Amino acid sequence: MDLFFNAKPPQAEVGIVYNIYSYIMLTCSRERKPDIITSSLTGIYRALFEENIPVDFIHINDFAKGDLKNYKLIFMPFSIMMTSEIAEGVKEFVRQGGKLVAEVRPGWSDEKGQCSEVIPGLGLHKIFGCRERWIRERQKPKLIVELVGEVMPSLSRKMEVSGLVYEEALEPLGDSAKILAHFEDGSPAMIINSYGEGKAVLVGSLISGAYEKIRNEENGKFLKGLFKWAGVSPLVDIDGSGTEGRILEGGGYKLLLGFNHSGKKANISFRLQAPEGEYRIFDLLSQTKVNWSYENGLRIQRELEPQEICVLKIEQV
């Protein structure tokens, strides 16, 4: 058991912001759809979970503390209320090279309920390079993403992404701001902007919440493409549908936990980020040695029955 007690998940490079102030604002405004924040949080998490990307949920106040340098990418869904100190921390994160993705009216109100004249508020329009022209509720918003190559160079075609609840039309404010997507009426729906050493994307609808509720395949592709845009790589690449791989790191060893969630037997190929060298791999459940190979990472092949797991101890010798 000490193997597990002494092992921890690797430091995540992606953060998802939990904003308690937004819940307060929604309650005060008597919002009829109280789950819109929850669905956005879980939608982002689901997309990255499906790609075996470690994720941390971070509190909105962490921006004010300025201790977010370990993160390459932060998602900030529906953060309509925050303090001025938090807004300064958000700007500093991007200025220092971080990549930020926000949805719908960030910084609309401060903690006292005073709304900003320019939205994004509290000076956040500077990092997003745009301002809100108008906003309306919409039953089934659609965003047509044209400049896919700005965030996903491997894709050149247009994408139709589903939104949720709102359409917020955006207006670029400078030459560094580029329109990534439009709503069906042609209004700008998504903008990417360079700020300092980093970049920020503002989406005028809740595409992450739509992925949780609708499971539009295009939403999943777009959200998953964002971690590649930020230079984040999965710790475990897996060849096999309905499968999962997680890593724990201990002193001088790693634990690979492999899961077959499907109802069929699966022949799973795991590829781990690891330096080239010699390895000793041991299956803790079957108490057997495991063969491996090295090709652009440490490769391990396992056959798992439906709903079966494997736990492998990996040591470099």
Which token pair is 298? 């440490």
Integer Cα distance of 69 and 89 in angstroms: 11
If phi > 0 it is left, if psi is from -120 to 50 it is alpha, else beta; for residue 68 that is alpha
| Residues sharing a CB contact under 8 Å with residue 177, sequence separation 6 or more, in sequence order | 128, 129, 130, 191, 192, 193
Burial of 283 (0-12, 13-18, 19+ CB in 10 A): middle
Cα–Cα distances (Å) from 59 to 15, 22, 112, 204, in that order, read 10, 12, 19, 22
Whether residue 284 contacts residue 258, with contact meaning beta carbons closer than 8 Å, is answered with no
3-state secondary structure of 209: helix
What's the confidence (pLDDT) of residue 309? 95
3-state secondary structure of 271: strand
Integer Cα distance of 57 and 14 in angstroms: 9
**186 alpha-carbon distance from chain centroid:** 27
Task: For the chain, 317 residues long, give each residue's pLDDT as a single digit of tens.
Answer: 788 999 999 999 999 999 999 988 888 777 666 688 999 999 999 999 988 899 999 999 999 998 899 999 999 999 999 999 999 999 999 999 999 999 999 999 998 889 999 999 999 999 999 999 999 999 899 999 987 676 766 555 788 999 999 999 999 998 999 999 999 999 999 999 999 999 999 999 999 999 999 999 999 999 998 998 999 988 899 987 788 999 999 999 999 999 999 999 999 999 998 899 999 999 999 999 999 999 989 999 999 999 999 999 999 99
What's the confidence (pLDDT) of residue 23? 87
The number of beta carbons lying within 10 Å of the beta carbon of residue 271 is 20
| Residues sharing a CB contact under 8 Å with residue 93, sequence separation 6 or more, in sequence order | 63, 68, 71, 74, 100, 198
What's the confidence (pLDDT) of residue 241? 75
Integer Cα distance of 204 and 292 in angstroms: 47
Whether residue 122 contacts residue 116, with contact meaning beta carbons closer than 8 Å, is answered with yes
3-state secondary structure of 129: coil
Q: What angle do CA 99, 100, 102 make, to 5 degrees?
A: 160
| Residues sharing a CB contact under 8 Å with residue 222, sequence separation 6 or more, in sequence order | 145, 151, 152, 159, 161, 207
What's the confidence (pLDDT) of residue 152? 66
Domains of the chain: 11-229 (3.40.50.880), 236-316 (2.60.40.1180)
Whether residue 199 contacts residue 231, with contact meaning beta carbons closer than 8 Å, is answered with no
What's the confidence (pLDDT) of residue 27? 80
Length of the chain: 317
Which of 236, 203, 220 has its CA nearest to residue 79? Answer: 203
Which amino acid appears at position 98 of this protein?
G
